[in-house]
Amino acid sequence: MVDERFVYSCRKHFNLFKAMRIIGKRTPSSRLWLQRQQKDLYVLRAKADGYRSRAVFKLMEIDDRFNFIKNAEFMVDLGAAPGSWSQLLSERSGENAKIAAIDLLDFSAISGVKIFRGDFEDKNNQREIMAYLGQKADLVTSDAAPSTSGHAATDHIRQMNLAKEAYLFSQYALKEGGSFIAKIFQSGEEAEFLRNLKKNFESAKFFKPQSSRSMSAEIYVVATRFKRCS
């Protein structure tokens, strides 16, 4: 049963958010307040809907736009903790779907998802994942993020390196026609990264979900119809 106090809190935040939206001219402080409230609304909504983090809405928006989960049966979620992306993969896929999720951190079980603890860059872990699937994957997703240092340039490089490793994994794991979704930070390298993706995918583009904070440098690459280079 949903806690009535929680529902009231959600409604209160939502009404405040709507009120702010109709204000024609906002001061800098009101804009910052609105951004914080919008962030909080995604957190509240995730809790109300039973998801483990607000990050689920990013994948939800991507899938609503590109519609790739429902046709996927074998999937791998990289950097999966705390598990909200894996939750959505399981929720939107068919009964026979096989989903493997891996992260360095522990996270609790998810119905329909096999969880692996470890580094997805490790070849042994990759072999274990593929052995579990029993065949090549239809979809590889990565919302993985490195430990941040507080230095923007360093963090952007680390995030891009992680995305590149996820891309390498996708080349190993995907079947012909498969899809790849990954988070990157805009750091000046994203155009080259997209060009490299287009060598292996018929379509590759950037997508910025509305649920991603506007001031955040994060953006997602969406690559579809995988093809192996000759």
CA-based nearest residue to 183, from 215, 200, 151, 206:
206
Residue 51: exposure state from Cβ atoms within 10 A (0-12, 13-18, ≥19): buried
101 forms bridges with which residues in the sheet?
A: 77, 115
Distance, CA of 47 to CA of 53 (rounded, Å) = 8
Answer yes or no: 183 catalytic. yes
Distance, CA of 83 to CA of 77 (rounded, Å) = 9
CA-based nearest residue to 147, from 79, 101, 208:
79
Amino acid at 108: S
- Annotated active-site residue in 58, 70, 136, 183: 183
Distance, CA of 53 to CA of 85 (rounded, Å) = 9
Q: Give the Cα-Cα-Cα angle 48, 54, 55 (nearest 5 degrees).
A: 140
Residues catalogued as catalytic: 183
